[in-house]
Structure 1
Amino acid sequence: MAWIFLLVAAFFEVLFAMGMKYAEGFTRPWPSLLVVVAAVAGIWFLTLSMRVLPVSIAYPIWTAIGTLGTVLLGFLLLGEALTPSKLVSVGLIIVGVAGLR
């Protein structure tokens, strides 16, 4: 169950990051509310996962999934470039988290 909580937490982490773009500096009410709710939910589910998982595993995986998801959605939804250096960096994140596991 801890891994499911961690995946849900990571989903909210991506939602939080993407929501910040759409909130435009907290000038748009609904996206701003989404940012706050996603941040609280993400941290709450992360905390639930840490009842079982060590912090040295749960937190890096949470941030890595959040980073990877944000890079992917930035590309798909916002038209951000996937440069070779960005792709190498994403690969290094994956290797780094796999090394922790």
Structure 2
Amino acid sequence: MAWIYLFVASVFEIAWTFSLRFMDVSELKKVQWRAAFNHWSPWAIVGPFAGYIVFGLGNIYFFSLAMKEIPASTALAVWMGTALIGVKLAEMIFLKAPFEWQQFFFMGLILVGIVGLKKMA
């Protein structure tokens, strides 16, 4: 179950990273909170900030559950490697970021390391 928690924590980390990308603190300061409940437009500004909080808390919660059964160094390496690969894949799929074949090679090396660490734990 700890490995599932670690995977869920990685998914939350990926979502948290993209909430940071789309968050604009200067625009958040300008939101008229009384009018926010009458119109949908402020929620496009508030949404990434809310995601930042929710995804960050979810990430910490599930990562802490995973670390109760997985050694900290292994959990951290797998969590970060999975999140890095997830962020890169999400950028390529959803944001149409360019990619190079060398990136796939090195992401494959990260995956090999993750599998190796999982087998040793």
Task: Please state which band the TM-score falls in when normalised by the shorter chain.
Answer: 0.7 to 0.9
User: Is the partner of 1:80 in helix, strand or coil?
Assistant: coil
Deviations 1:13-66 (CA, angstroms, capped at 9, x unpaired): 111112222224674321122012211210111001111111122111111111
Which of 57, 64, 68 aligns to 1:51? It is 68
| Structure having the higher Rg | 2
Q: 1:42 to 1:87 in 2, by over 3 A?
A: same
- Asked which structure has the greater RCO (Cα within 8 Å, sep 6+), the reply is 2
Letter aligned with residue 71 of structure 2? P
Which of 79, 92, 105 aligns to 1:75? It is 92
Root-mean-square deviation (CA), in Å?
1.7
Corresponding position: 1:96 with 2:113 = yes
Q: What number of residue pairs does the alignment pair up?
A: 101
Give the percent of matched residue pairs that are identical in Structure 1 and Structure 2.
29
2-structure distance, mates of 1:73, 1:24: 20
TM-score computed with the length of structure 2 as normaliser: 0.73
TM-score computed with the length of structure 1 as normaliser: 0.86
Q: Do 1:26 and 1:32's aligned partners in 2 also have CA atoms closer than 8 Å?
A: no
- Structure 2: gaps of 5 or more residues: 28-44
2-structure distance, mates of 1:25, 1:63: 26
Q: Do 2:78 and 2:117's aligned partners in 1 also have CA atoms closer than 8 Å?
A: no
